[in-house]
Amino acid sequence: MRLPKTAHTSRPWRIHEIAPDFRIEDVWELPTPGGRDDLARLVQQSVSPTDGFEFPAVFRALFALRWKLGALFGWDEADSGVGERVRSVRERLPSDLLEGPRGPDQHAVPGRTELDGPPIFVSVYQTRDEWVAEYASKTVHSLQHIGWVPDDSGGGYHAQMAVLVKPNGWLGKAYMAAVKPFRYALVYPMLLRSVGRRWQAPGRVRSVRVSDPIAAARRYDYADAFELRLERPDRCSPEEWVRAGVDATPAWIKQIAGHADGLGSARIAESDADVVVLEDSDPLMDTVMVGRNVEPERRLLMTVLRYRRPLLARAVWAFVGILHRRTARRVVAGGLRQGDRGGDAVLSRACRTRRARR
C-alpha cells in the first residue's frame, strides 16, 4: 500500500540527518507482519539471490529491459556507481553508525542475477529499526530505506519502504519521469505481492552465494548453493536429509543422474551431525557436494565442479545443469512435502524412517 510521505518524515529515522539533500520519491507499506526484532530477517531475505521466478513474467521482463537499456546507453558503467560518480552516503555517517553493523550488500536483483563482481545496492548502515542501501548510475543516486514500524493496532510490526532519490541533471529527471508510470502501475504492486509471498513462505528453497569453506576452498569451474530455512530447529543430520531428498526425487530424474540406488556412485568423504561431503568423478568432471546444518533452522547444499575436459563438460553441463538445480532444490528440502515447515515434521517423515532402517 502506498503511503503519504509524512509516514516517513514523521518518524525519527537516522536517515533524516544523514541525507537531507535527497528527495522522497515514494513511501510504501510492505506486507511483512512480524515481531519486534524481525527486520534482520527481512534484510537477509531482501539480499538473498533467487532465480527470480517468484516474480511475475512481466515484472522480470521489465527489469531485464531496464538492464539491457542500461548496457546499451552506458547508464550502469563502473565509473557511474557509488564511490565513482558519487561519494557514498556512508561517508556522512556519525561515529555510532560507523561502528555499528553495516548490513549486507545486494548483488542480484530481478533481471540481473550475477553474484560475482560489485554489488548493485551497497549497504550504508543497519540498526534494529532501519536498513539503508544505496545505488547509483548515470541517471540517479538513490537510497532504499527500510524501516521497521509498529502496527496501528498494537502488538505487531511491519516494514515500511521509502525511496529517496537525487537525479543526475536533466538526464536523471527525464529518466525518473519516463519510468514513473511503470513504477506505479506495474513494478511496485508486483514487487509488494512478491515480497509478501516470500515473507509468508519460510520453507521455500532459494539460491544463495557459495561461501562454505569446504566448497569455496577448492578450485572449481562451476558452483551453486541452495538454502532452506525452517521455522523450528532441524533434527536431521545432513546425511539424513540428503538421503531423504534423493529418495523423494522422481525415479526418472534419478535414472538420468545415475542415482537409482540411493546416492549412486557418490562417495561419502565426511559425515557428522553438522556436515556431509559427497565426492564423485567421471571422465568429464569431478563433483563435490556439501550439505550443512549452518544453524538449527538453516540448511545449505552446495555443489562445485571441476572440469576434466572443459569444452565438452561445459557443453554437457549447459543442459544437465538445469536438471541438477531442480534436483538440488528437492535434496535440500530433504523429503519435506508442500506445507511442511518445521524440524519435527522432517524427523517424523524422513529421518525417523531412515533411522528405523538401520
- How buried is 202 (Cβ within 10 angstroms: 0-12 exposed, 13-18 middle, 19+ buried)? middle
Phi and psi at residue 27, to the nearest 5°: -135, 130
- The pLDDT value recorded for residue 118 is 74
**What is the CA 262 to chain-centroid distance, rounded?**
30
Nearest to 242 by CA among 291, 281, 305: 291
pTM summary value: 0.60
Contact 93, 134 (CB under 8 A): no
- The pLDDT value recorded for residue 52 is 55
Contact 126, 81 (CB under 8 A): no
- What DSSP state is assigned to residue 202? T
C-alpha grid cell for residue 143?
A: 537510497
- The pLDDT value recorded for residue 339 is 40
Give the right CATH number for 205-357 from 3.40.50, 2.40.50, 3.30.530, 3.30.70.
3.30.530
Cα dihedral sign, 31-128-301-275: negative
- The pLDDT value recorded for residue 260 is 47
C-alpha grid cell for residue 201?
A: 513462505
Q: End-to-end CA distance of the chain, in Å?
A: 54
CA separation for the pair 347, 358 (Å, rounded):
15
The two beta strands, 275-281 and 285-295, are antiparallel
Q: At what angle do helices 310-333 and 238-248 cross, to 10 degrees?
A: 100
Residue type, 195: V
Q: Where are the domains of the chain?
A: 6-199, 205-357
Give the residues across from 131 on adjacent strands.
126, 146
3-state secondary structure of 349: helix
Nearest to 63 by CA among 123, 111, 117: 111
- The pLDDT value recorded for residue 338 is 40
Nearest to 208 by CA among 115, 112, 322, 290: 115
Contact 269, 278 (CB under 8 A): yes
Tens digits of pLDDT across the chain (358 residues): 889 999 999 999 999 999 999 999 999 999 988 888 889 989 988 887 665 556 677 777 777 788 788 888 888 887 888 888 889 999 999 999 999 988 998 876 765 655 556 778 899 999 999 999 999 999 999 999 999 999 876 668 999 999 999 999 999 999 899 988 888 888 888 888 888 877 766 566 777 777 767 766 667 889 888 888 776 777 788 998 888 888 777 666 656 655 544 566 788 999 998 899 999 998 999 999 999 998 778 888 999 999 999 999 999 998 888 888 888 888 888 756 444 444 444 443 455 554 555 5
